[in-house]
Amino acid sequence: MITLTRRDLLLGFAGCLPFLAGGRPTTFAAYEAGKPGRRLGIVIHSYGLRGKDKASQFGDPLVFLEYCRTLGAAGVQTSLGARDDAYVEKIRGALRASGMYLEGIVRLPRAAADIDRFSDELRTARDCGAKVVRTVLLDSRRYETFNSLDAFRAFSEECDSRLRLAKPIAERHDVRLAVENHKDWRADDLLKIIRRADSPQIGVCLDTGNSIALLEEPHEVVEALAPLTFTTHFKDMAVAEYPQGFLLSEVPLGTGFLDLARIVKLLADQRREIRLNLEMITRDPLRVPCLSPGYWTTFADLPARHLAATLELVRRNAAKQALPQIADKGSAEQLAYEDANVRQCLTWARERL
């Protein structure tokens, strides 16, 4: 028997609102058979290299928004911080002039002393026009962070606590918190955490590639998380073996092994109001050491079949060329390569989605 929580009922109703109101859908409307033209939003992490370059000033949301406008992006997802009324009005004016959308990025409160900061940032996001803000439960990767099962279990309890602190603030400001599957929780566990929070304002930021690192089949993850998804980190992935496990890389859309058309359809069938935000991270391949003992510290009960299935997936889809590297490039070349990757993704989406 399926048990529906209060948040399930409210989310289901909210997803129908654009159609009940007779409004034109503005998110998945472009995805129709034979009608390419998908415009993506851009996540600030797509410019992780340029963001570290002070000359770019991408830490200023207005600067980042304007640059993405020149690329033809539909919107942006970026950290806004807490801003005064004058700055908020500049953001709103830029959005009106460009027709772009805005989503925020925020860090969850970890204690009562952090609530004011969190509330100020949600209020800024709301006033700027953001309906959704992305957040994470863990900033790093699970298998690189915890050295004992006890430490991971303590983190698990902290996750529920952080969402309990965040819930009334998100509901008061009417901003949706989208928790990313950030190489911390497998899909079934993340769903349990979201459902325990039991709020229509708390859902998922669905990253289409992250969960491979936790030995999950990526298309199955999309299917599982789609019903509770508020927004996305849309990406393609490439894989290759290495002695301790496998390598995992974000690559330009259409050059990896993910079935992007299938992913978009899965999302559209469940949540037509969500947006596709490109997260094309330009970096050296990530090492997923799933054949080393330390990787399994926090996976006490994970059946071996998941390891076998993932290794088979990697071998079946192994990249025919070496995965992209940036460590051997100079800083100027890295920045140019990053920008070219983003532009290639945007062009592919317009022509193929």
Domain boundaries, the chain: 6-238+250-287+325-352
- 226: amino acid identity, one letter: A
User: The tokens of 333 are what?
Assistant: 């070349």
pLDDT tops 90 at residue 32: no
pLDDT tops 60 at residue 164: yes
Query: Smallest Cα–Cα separation from 311: which of 260, 251, 253, 242?
Result: 242
pLDDT tops 70 at residue 242: yes
CA distance 178 to 131: 10
pLDDT tops 60 at residue 109: yes
pLDDT tops 90 at residue 241: yes
Torsion from C-alpha of 264, 227, 45, 253, nearest 10 degrees = -10
Integer angstrom CA distances of residue 192 from 224, 300, 309: 12, 18, 23
Matching CATH number, 6-238+250-287+325-352, of 3.40.50.720, 3.60.20.10, 3.40.50.1110, 3.20.20.150: 3.20.20.150
pLDDT tops 60 at residue 31: no
pLDDT tens readout for residues 212-229: 999 999 999 999 999 999
Q: What is the pLDDT of residue 27?
A: 58
Q: What is the pLDDT of residue 149?
A: 96
Query: Smallest Cα–Cα separation from 58: which of 78, 39, 41?
Result: 78
CA distance 74 to 277: 9
Percent of the chain scoring above 90 in pLDDT: 86
- List residues bridging with 173 in a β-sheet: none
pLDDT tops 90 at residue 6: no
- At 206 the three-state DSSP class reads strand
Q: What is the pLDDT of residue 19?
A: 32
Q: What is the pLDDT of residue 35?
A: 54
pLDDT tens readout for residues 70-83: 999 999 999 999 99
Q: What is the pLDDT of residue 273?
A: 87
Please compute the mean of the pLDDT values over residues 108-122 and round it to a whole number.
97
Please compute the mean of the pLDDT values over residues 155-163 and round it to a whole number.
96
Average pLDDT over all residues of the chain: 91
Q: What is the pLDDT of residue 256?
A: 98
pLDDT tens readout for residues 267-320: 999 988 899 999 999 999 999 999 999 999 999 899 999 999 999 999 999 999
